[in-house]
Structure 1
Amino acid sequence: MATQTAEQLTKKKCLPCEGGVDPYSPDEAKAQLSNHEGWYLTHEGQRIRKDWKVKNFLAGMDFFQKCAEVAEADGHHPDLHIEGYRNVSVELWTHAIGGLSENDFILAAKIDQLPIELASK
């Protein structure tokens, strides 16, 4: 699989995945992550995750609403986490194959384009 830039990925739409395809290998996932600032592998390389510290709880919920709209439009749904009222995280993987697919990186690139009200240090 060729590594794609975030710009290339944002122009794509997630394709339905019902299984039957191999997940990205750890090396393929790491190579693709080089184009996704702040995202990292979790669950033994089967998922990608990114964390943010937002201004306040409502800023986190606003960001999650924007994530939900993008996810619904592409038919690919992340896990959304909020802890300590300002620490938000998005975790992606393709459930049908138990690992990572192009869809995860497409959605990550689109999420990175969303406005988010970050906490001032």
Structure 2
Amino acid sequence: MAAQSTTELAKKKCQPCEGGVEPYAARDAEQQLAQLPGWRLTHDGQRIRKDWNVKNFMVGIKFFDEVARIAEADQHHPDLHLEGYRRVWIEIFTHAIGGLSENDFILAAKIDQIPVDAKK
């Protein structure tokens, strides 16, 4: 499976997944993550995660509002975490298959397009 650029991924729309799809192999996931700076594998390669430090609590909430808007439009919902009022992180995986699908990388690419000023 060939890795796609962030631009290619961000142009796509997540496709409904009700299972029956093989999760990405670790090698394929790592190749795709090379195109998504800051994202890393977690949970034995079953999820991807990225961390940010934001200016304050409300900036974190504003960032999550933008993420929620994108996630809802694509009907692919990440796990959102806010800790210590400034530390935020997002984990993404395809619940229906218990691992990673193309949808996860599409959503990560779209999240990365949120302007930096939304996080500061």
Structure 2: distance between partners of 1:41 and 1:108: 12
Structure 2: distance between partners of 1:117 and 1:4: 26
**Which ranges of structure 1 fall in alignment gaps of 5 or more residues?**
none
Report the counterpart of residue 117 of structure 1 in structure 2: 119
What residue identity is the alignment partner of 1:117?
A: K
Structure 2: distance between partners of 1:79 and 1:114: 17
Residue by residue over 1:50-75, the C-alpha shift from the partner in whole angstroms, topping out at 9 and shown as x without a partner, is 00000000000000000000000000
- Structure 1 residue matching 2:31: 3-state secondary structure: helix
Cα displacement (A) at 1:117 = 2.4
The two structures have a TM-score, normalised by structure 1, of: 0.96
The two structures have a TM-score, normalised by structure 2, of: 0.97
Aligned residues: 118
Residue by residue over 1:26-60, the C-alpha shift from the partner in whole angstroms, topping out at 9 and shown as x without a partner, is 00000000000000000000000000000000000
Cα displacement (A) at 1:2 = 1.5
Within 5 Å, which residues of 2 pair with 1:1-121? 1-115=1-115, 116-118=118-120
CA RMSD of aligned residues (A): 0.6
- Structure 1 residue matching 2:21: 3-state secondary structure: coil
What residue identity is the alignment partner of 1:47?
A: R
**Which ranges of structure 2 fall in alignment gaps of 5 or more residues?**
none
- Percent identical pairs in the alignment equals 65
